[in-house]
Amino acid sequence: GDWTGTAPALYCISLQEMIDLSAGNVLRDAVLDNTGGDALQKWRVDFETAFKYVQSARRLCFGPTNEFPQLVALEHMVGVGVLVFARPDLLKAHQIRTARIPTGFGGGNLGNKGAVAVSLQLESTSLCVVGAHLAAHRGDVGGRNANYHSIVERDCFRRGLGWSQKEEGSRSVPSYEKNACRDGFGVLDHDVVLWLGDLNYRFQADVPDERVIELVRRKDYASLTRLDQLCDAMNNNKAFSTHDFREHSLNFAPTYKYATNSDKYDFELPQEEQANRKIRCPAWCDRVLWRVA
């Protein structure tokens, strides 16, 4: 179709497991701060290449000046990353800051799990973009809820110089600091918060896999929604809804877990292929939520 003048003004991208989350990689990135950063830079190049392709293929897609979106900010922590691009003809971002908020190994001090975030000002509106990777495994819904509260309770952003004015490596709260910012501010201290990533919420642990698979095959998303751990947490004010986050209705197939380079779930593979892998129960692990103050 004709995309002239219709391309979005802002692009917020969250990535998880950019690198293998082995103990060695987690410690290496905590010390050297480059393993995940190198991976994120490669993704940045890929996204910019995609923007350039669209720019050339769809005339004036990005408005009368046809400038493709420019990077506003990026941040990484081990395997999780966030990038924000904006169309320069429409949006002027300022007061840009980033933060790392670990909730992983070592009592929540290492970044194998947690979030990275970007804080910026768009005209008179403050916006925070959170890219998160929360606790794994179907039975650890309590860990995911705790990760959420740990992230929002920290004053993770520094006041002062903006992201583009700081030396590389100095723009974030160090991973070992929890509430370390003097006169700092947090995720919830913004007019709008966009929270996206692999939040790892599954279907309730007492529901048999066979029941979930049956509902997935029937595309009975309403029934699946009633079994979803995040929906339950929000309905009972255990996480996210405690601070007025909202989510669009789940009227699409669960996003986890597909076979690599395939549109088939693990359980749909031929029996001989299933024998060589652990078959995971489908789930809506990947989520997008928002909050408007």
pLDDT by residue (tens digit) across 10-49?
A: 999 999 999 888 777 777 776 666 778 899 999 999 999 9
Give the separation between CA 251 and CA 260, rounded to whole angstroms.
23
pLDDT by residue (tens digit) across 78-134?
A: 999 999 999 988 888 899 999 999 998 777 777 889 999 999 999 999 999 999 999
Give the separation between CA 127 and CA 118, rounded to whole angstroms.
8
pLDDT by residue (tens digit) across 223-265?
A: 999 999 999 999 999 999 999 999 999 999 999 999 888 888 9
DSSP per residue, 197-223: EE----B-TTS-HHHHHHHHHHT-HHH
Rounded to two decimals, the pTM is 0.89
Q: CA 18 → CA 89, 141, 168, 221, distances in Å? A: 31, 23, 20, 30
